[in-house]
Amino acid sequence: MDGFGLVKKQQIIQNLFVNYERWQKRLLDASIVIALGVLAAKVTAAVMTDSSAIYSDAAESVVHVLAVAFAAWALRFARKPADRTHHFGHDKVSYVSSGFEGALIGAAAIWVIYQAVKQFIYGVEIHHLGLGVAITLGVALVQATLAGCLLRLARFDGSPLLRANALHLLTDVWTSVAALISLALYHFTQWPWWDPVIAIIAAANILYVGLRLVRKSLSGLLDEADVAVEKTISELLDRETSAMGLSYHNLRCRHSGTLHWVEFHLIFDDAMTVKHAHELATQLEAAIADLYQPNIRVISHLEPKSSEHIKQLWEAP
């Protein structure tokens, strides 16, 4: 590809990324408005029906409003560029937001279980079944649509923040579905204990999702390697360095929230000039960067072949 074509490609990628960031902000802003509307609708349905499952659903929505507000702030903070005190940028706050949301999901699940157990002890009485079902179903459809949009955007750069928000929405949807199932079973069987039983089953699923989010957030904060990304990059390096007559070692990959960070050591013949070695290294860095543009930063370290046997103390075995 000539210089003009490369510049044009980079401009297209950059424009796509800018539009993507705008959509992120718009969707999260819309999420806050929708979350408030959903909360109002669920509280109304809960008061009308006096259903434990719907009350639990409403409680989970209170948690979701707090989580979305935190996620919207975290998204803006994560997009701040690197500065004098944060040389690698601010996007790791995405993992903080994801972990916070996971913890809130877990807390909501425990609250649902508590309410269901209370209902077992004090009894169950459900009113205004039809209107409660209609409100809950409408809310679930709106949330499922928004969750699908957020998941599609999250796949673009693997954003843990957007993924956590989408999964939280989906747990809210599953809570609503559980409430609908319990009300339907009550309608057909007149057995009131369906309400707390279904609520507990839904809560167990919600708790599992919350714990997974917390675990994934901790992995990101601790720079756990992405095996799939590392495999893709190592295959490219094997192919390209073999064609150039070079070798490499100490490949390391991590994901900081929105960016992939890649580091590796390139081994050159001692007689090769620094200029030529730098040109080859730049070609390799560009080839790797093309895999995940524009969300990647690649750093290579040049070594002479005579020093290849010298291992760094921090080098992975």
| Cα-based distances in Å from 239 to 242, 243, 297 | 5, 6, 20
Over the stretch 249-259, which tens digit does the pLDDT of each residue have?
889 998 887 78
Over the stretch 135-145, which tens digit does the pLDDT of each residue have?
778 888 888 88
Query: Token match 């094997």: residue?
Result: 238
Averaged pLDDT, 110-127: 75
Over the stretch 28-69, which tens digit does the pLDDT of each residue have?
777 788 888 888 887 887 777 776 667 766 776 777 787 778
Q: Quote the pLDDT of residue 241.
A: 92
| CA–CA separation, 234 and 240 (whole Å) | 10
| Cα-based distances in Å from 79 to 96, 98, 161, 174, 296 | 14, 15, 12, 31, 14
| CA–CA separation, 213 and 168 (whole Å) | 9
Q: Per CATH, is 227-307 categorized as 3.40.50.970?
A: no
Q: Is the pLDDT of residue 90 over 60?
A: yes
| CA–CA separation, 56 and 179 (whole Å) | 9
Computed on alpha carbons and rounded to an integer, the radius of gyration of the chain in Å comes to 25
Are the C-beta atoms of residues 28 and 149 closer than 8 Å to each other?
no
Q: Model's pTM, two decimal places?
A: 0.67
Element (H, E) at 7: helix 3-49
Q: Quote the pLDDT of residue 2.
A: 44
Q: Is the pLDDT of residue 202 over 70?
A: yes
Averaged pLDDT, 9-31: 59
Are the C-beta atoms of residues 102 and 210 closer than 8 Å to each other?
yes
| CA–CA separation, 53 and 175 (whole Å) | 8
**% pLDDT > 90, the chain:** 15
Averaged pLDDT, 122-126: 66
Greater model confidence, 286 or 312: 286
Averaged pLDDT, 264-274: 91
Residues of the chain with CATH 1.20.1510.10: 3-221
The listed CATH number (1.20.120.430, 1.25.40.850, 1.20.1510.10, 2.40.50.40) that belongs to domain 3-221: 1.20.1510.10
Confidence label for 134 from pLDDT (cuts 50, 70 and 90): confident
Residues of the chain with CATH 3.30.70.1350: 227-307
